[in-house]
Structure 1
Amino acid sequence: MSDRDKQLREAAYQEVETHKSLVESDRFRLGYHLMPPVGLLNDPNGFIQYKGVYHLFYQWNPFKTEHGAKFWGHYTSRDLVNWEHHEIALAPSDWFDKNGCYSGSAIEHNGKMYLFYTGNVKDEHNNRESYQVLVESEDGFTFDKKGVVVELPEGYTAHFRDPKVWKRDDYFYMVVGAQSEDLTGKAALLRSSDLYKWEHLGAIAGAHVGSLEDFGYMWECPDLFELDGEEVLILSPQGLEPEGMLYQNIYQAGYFIGKMDYENARFDHGEFVEMDRGFEFYAPQTTEDDQGRRLLFGWLGLPEEREEDHPTIEYKWIHAMTLPRELRVKDGKLYQLPVEELKKLRHDEVIYHNVVLNEEEQAFAGIDGERLEYELTFNENPSSEVTIQMRNHATITYSPEKKRLTLSRISFVDGKTIEERHCEISELKNLRVFLDSSSIEIFVNDGAEVFTARIYPAENEKNITFKTGQPTSVQLQAWMLY
């Protein structure tokens, strides 16, 4: 380890110790979501199950609640519920990453863990260079940078980052988020037989590749995998203009389902679908575990969008991870569900059978508080509007007439403005909702749609109420969460 590396790590650890008590005193600190010990957390990185242990690395700026020269923080778990925070995995200490160890992925090969990430370099005029860097680990806890293995291929700007690596047959493949020289987003594919020497095969998808027209100016965090007989490309495009209810956030995260042609380096795909209809969700990354599940973490945040207005800033931290989710493909659509292990968090169960909701707001004993999960199942599709008010700051509304589900919240910028996000659904079968101290995740119709958001209620705002325009029979179940 170089002197520079040691200095950066020591400075980061000092920052944690200095502000630890302040961070822990914040009432908006999350209970069962992963968050930074101090500073700013963003993209999930290197998500992998290695030697029976789940490893989740993350983009981390320990010095500020702003973006800057990122480290890789490191969490591990054996059950996706109980997590341990470890020493810094990567620090921006070398010539090829001096302005940040940017996002990347992990793969296991011959018993070793290999990390790939983007080294970010800027000069005094803010001109950027990017390098794809390889790291080896014998144990998943100590890391040895091997240096640059991919320099910028021709045809792209320096916005070339976030390598995701996997093995197929005799080759390793790497998909990289990119911006081409015509300033449009692309997903670039590279191939290797040894993880060290990489051949650029070309852009597999993006503007003017296949039938896709201009679709944003940069594609971040691509992830390509097979699932339930389909091939899925997840990505986070930047620069999409709003279209009706779609693309309402500053940047989006979504997927294509299609067919990967490895011989000709092309991904033939259908329409882009947003993965999350809420306010804060970005840069998701997946892995396959030893049960054959495709698991996902997303960043419960967004870059650049009003980050300075989050009330956690004064407590020296910002952003978190989503709950871990299991992905499935059904009828050409990607579904997301909270992983089964999260049921370990439950206690103090309450059940209400065949409850009739009506036009009066109803509260139920045991269904309130800061940290809870509840499930609402409709015995038949509601014939009138459904409204669920949560902690006076977030509201779920379903309109059977418009066939629309809406999440509205009070803006954390001014505490007054009502913001809305929507999705179209033909019927409402069930809702599964997770509330944490300052977050909400809503899984609609067994994960066919998902809404993720931050909310910041007052300390005494813990109530949840339900009402419908016409009498509606439901099953209601809830749990407090540790």
Structure 2
Amino acid sequence: MQKQKYKTINLATASEITKFTEIERSLEMRPLFHITPPHGLLNDPNGFCFFNNQYHLFYQWFPFDTYHGMKHWMHLTSNDLLNWKRHGSKITPKENYESHGAYSGSAFVENNNAYLFYTGNIKKGSSRDANQCLALLDNTNAVTKYSPNPVIKSVPKGYTGHVRDPKIVKHNEHYYMLLGAQREADLSGAIIIYQSDDLLSWEFKGELDLQFSGEFLTGYMFECPDLLNVDGHDVLIFSPQGSKANGSRFHNRFNVIYCLGSINFEKLTFEVEHWDELDRGFDFYAPQTMANTPDEQTLIAWAGTDEELPSRQFGWINCLTLPRTLSILNRRLYQQPKILQSYSFNKRPLEINKTNIPIKLEQLSFSLDVNEFNGNIKISIETKNKKLLFSIKDRDIHLDRSQYNHHPEDWEFGSIRHHRTNYDITDIKFICDQSIIEIYLNNGRDVFTCLFFPENEEHRLNILQKEDTDMDIKLNYLTI
């Protein structure tokens, strides 16, 4: 296993290639309009950008098995953020400066050039090191590694080898690189910043001071930092590993937060006006926003983190969320699935008093417009023996997948997610795609992402509510 773990795709044998082809053809448990790996393991989205009149997306990919191994960058392109074409691994870690994987990074687009920054992972026995590397994407979709790489060798003094996930932004004619890091002194998480005038030569500036107004966020590593502006607000997104549960928040193994506020690059401060969990569900990590977006700010994330999911038996694991557009209202970050803006579903009316409605889980969307809410709604997707339950009582929300006990992380972190809103719920949207469900409340004020792997049985939808709760329901199927 260890030998296979650090093998690159160009060394695949003929028998392995035959096996890969068989896995790719299998549709068992595989979502149809969420991105999945052809075979092997998918994790963080990388290099998400709009370039040369196309959307480009890469993701972390280990081709040979469903555990974490030698990470490649799989490349996809799209004209609509729904239908994607694979182009294979475009960053394959063959060089000494990336000897144990081409780890996560991001794109920066300027003057018709697309720069791909990533972390070259180095392991030396029980220790590790990290280099920050550059590759160039051209108009033919070819990717060429910059020579001489790396653009930043090793890690700055005071930090462990856990320095990774470069994000590039431009401010006042200077370029800034944000990196997730771990402090050497107490093994706690941080975000550090480098500065450049040409994207090639970088100077370490220091650590970003996150000013939380009396609150303190814990974690042993801050991964995948992202910085953008949404509706005139600076937004900092990152993934703190080791954050402690806080009320109903942060109950996953790894969590994601967003901070609204203002950044000062001269003082290296981010003054936080509001912060919260980005997704309330089970399966949402390492989000990345689109560079050079042609319209709204758009985000996509890894739906996974558990290495023991049932799809392993079919040779693949994990998927990405749908792309989500971002907006801010009343100092809160809203997320809306791009698919509902761009595509019309085949609409079929559904009577409110009907139960045991036969449904197909793939390509399904259903929405509830709550005209008058009296505090109690239960929505379940059921087979003969199991159900996935989403319930609202007053303003308390529960998402329960306990009957699908195939998630080992649930044994440790729980199989129910709870959130109490401070608003009345008037709009609920479900998007189902075989083994993933995304739930959007009140136009994306809160979002729940959930993987579940039902057996190949007939599924039924049940919606129960108090008699004096008035709702309009639409059940739709997407035709791709």
Fold equivalence (TM over 0.5): yes
CA deviation digits over 1:238-286, x for unaligned, max 9? 1112223111100101111111011111111135311111111100000
Equivalent in 402, 417, 424 of residue 421 of structure 1: 417
Tell me if structure 2 keeps the 8 A contact 1:81–1:344.
no
The answer for the alignment partner of 2:88 in structure 1 is 87
The answer for the alignment partner of 1:199 in structure 2 is 203
TM-superposed deviation, 1:109: 2.4
CA distance in 2, matches of 1:325, 1:13: 38
The answer for the alignment partner of 1:351 in structure 2 is 349
Matched, 1:388 2:386: no
Matched, 1:332 2:326: no
Matched, 1:374 2:366: yes
CA deviation digits over 1:351-405, x for unaligned, max 9? 34xx555xxx72457x55433001110012x2132100013431110011xx211
**1:35-184 counterparts in 2 under 5 A?**
35-123=36-124, 125-139=125-139, 141-146=141-146, 147-151=149-153, 152-181=155-184, 182-184=186-188
Tell me if structure 2 keeps the 8 A contact 1:370–1:462.
no
Tell me if structure 2 keeps the 8 A contact 1:30–1:437.
yes
TM-superposed deviation, 1:468: 1.1
The answer for the alignment partner of 1:223 in structure 2 is 226
SS of 1:312's equivalent in the other structure is helix
CA distance in 2, matches of 1:109, 1:319: 32
CA distance in 1, matches of 2:392, 2:212: 38
CA distance in 1, matches of 2:8, 2:69: 13
The answer for the alignment partner of 1:322 in structure 2 is 321
Unmatched tracts of structure 1, length 5 or more = 1-6
Could you tell me which amino acid in structure 1 is paired with residue 362 of structure 2? E
Tell me if structure 1 keeps the 8 A contact 2:334–2:443.
yes
Could you tell me which amino acid in structure 2 is paired with residue 378 of structure 1? V
C-alpha RMSD over aligned residues = 2.3
CA distance in 1, matches of 2:182, 2:158: 9
TM-superposed deviation, 1:140: 5.9
Most deviating of 327-336 and 409-418: 409-418
Could you tell me which amino acid in structure 1 is paired with residue 45 of structure 2? P
TM-superposed deviation, 1:64: 1.1
CA distance in 2, matches of 1:236, 1:325: 18
Equivalent in 188, 192, 203 of residue 192 of structure 2: 188
Tell me if structure 2 keeps the 8 A contact 1:384–1:470.
no
CA distance in 1, matches of 2:42, 2:157: 32
CA deviation digits over 1:419-450, x for unaligned, max 9? 21021123111111101111100001110000
Q: TM-score, normalised by structure 2?
A: 0.90
The answer for the alignment partner of 2:11 in structure 1 is 11
The answer for the alignment partner of 2:4 in structure 1 is none
Compared CA separation, residues 188 and 211, structure 1 to 2 (3 A): farther
CA distance in 2, matches of 1:99, 1:128: 10
CA distance in 2, matches of 1:81, 1:106: 20
The answer for the alignment partner of 1:247 in structure 2 is 250
Compared CA separation, residues 66 and 193, structure 1 to 2 (3 A): same
The answer for the alignment partner of 1:411 in structure 2 is 404
Tell me if structure 1 keeps the 8 A contact 2:46–2:58.
yes
Compared CA separation, residues 343 and 136, structure 1 to 2 (3 A): closer
The answer for the alignment partner of 1:3 in structure 2 is none
Matched, 1:275 2:278: yes
CA distance in 1, matches of 2:94, 2:48: 23
TM-superposed deviation, 1:93: 0.6
Q: TM-score, normalised by structure 1?
A: 0.90
Matched, 1:468 2:465: yes
TM-superposed deviation, 1:196: 0.6
Unmatched tracts of structure 2, length 5 or more = 1-6
How many residues align? The count is: 460
Tell me if structure 2 keeps the 8 A contact 1:441–1:451.
yes
